[in-house]
Structure 1
């Protein structure tokens, strides 16, 4: 091999190596940069006017809703984000609905690794109905007297108050107390506690313990696995129970149990 040919070969090889190294530096972002989140707070308000329902679409982050004797909706958003994402935050009226959006818009390539999130705190008129669609993170609702409908991907749900309550949840613990109407829960996994309800209670659960006490109406349960404890109700029906102990007492009505 001539000296000139060898020199050209080494030059080409060196150029390829430089390109590979440079490309690697661009693709492999250091973990310290990926985990660095900028924090800022934003506040929004909306007068209630004729609106009777709050429709909320939220992504990752905590959601806290507090009912009060007020005539406007107040939102405080604590936003934690990386540089390469956008924030979708709005609170607008639409007919008889107030519509809230609080989400992080992530680039396609960073969706699985980006850790940005928004913590939302709301103060709303206590008698408004709530329709919430949430991605992940805890939900805490208190002092509401209207209807509550929740569709949640993951994260704990705690509700203290409300009228008729419907929950469709993927995973995470659920606590409902002092509801003034019926409670319906469909849950993938996670413990469920329901107490002091003035209506009927229906639970369809994949896995996790279930505790239901002090219910003014009937209780109906379909359960995949996990223990069941029921006390102080006007009747109990267990349509299915895959595995786990079943204990009940002080049932002032019919009891029907089909243990698989």
Structure 2
């Protein structure tokens, strides 16, 4: 077994069968078909059930890894001169319930997200059930011209979340889906209410870091300014070094910081 598989925590077949039986009982079906997804997800085992639902199975090991990641991210926030703002989640069920609640709130304020179905517990595993969006692509997989067209919508949805007191907490290309020419947000994580301002700045920094390699430094900053102020970008600038050390982001942090400074200077 690879180290990452050990750390991630796989869900054994007996647990998967128990989840499948519970889903069948809850939907009045004799049985359901489970198809695992080939996704590099450290915090759950994702699968598709009957090509109708997207299901995440969260183990105790996933909850432990989430706690470790939360501690590391909060330490990273401190190195950026801010207080930590990521919220620890205690159990697999709570992880599933938190993401379900975040998905409900996103849809309530008009942010595209899969339809939430339910969250429940089976044999110590948390289970999250959402609508399955078939024929989707992640933002990482779209061409540059399509990314340029969709980016204003991405920033608009992100601003709408922030304006309503929400934050995503883990914004990256694979957590933004594209279907039918629209963007959908998934995998929102938990942030503390008293740290929402810092979480918003971190979200914006993560969005800039995700989009900069596809669109170029100047273009991504110009598009961000359609939704955010130069002051917002300066706040995000403080988190760019922190975002840059994450293995799931690869961007030119110094050029991005320099472009933000130019915009701020020009605005007075």
- Identify whether the pair has TM-score above 0.5, normalized to the shorter chain: no
TM-score computed with the length of structure 1 as normaliser: 0.29
Which structure has the higher relative contact order (CA within 8 Å, separation 6+)?
2
TM-score computed with the length of structure 2 as normaliser: 0.29
| Greater C-alpha radius of gyration | 1
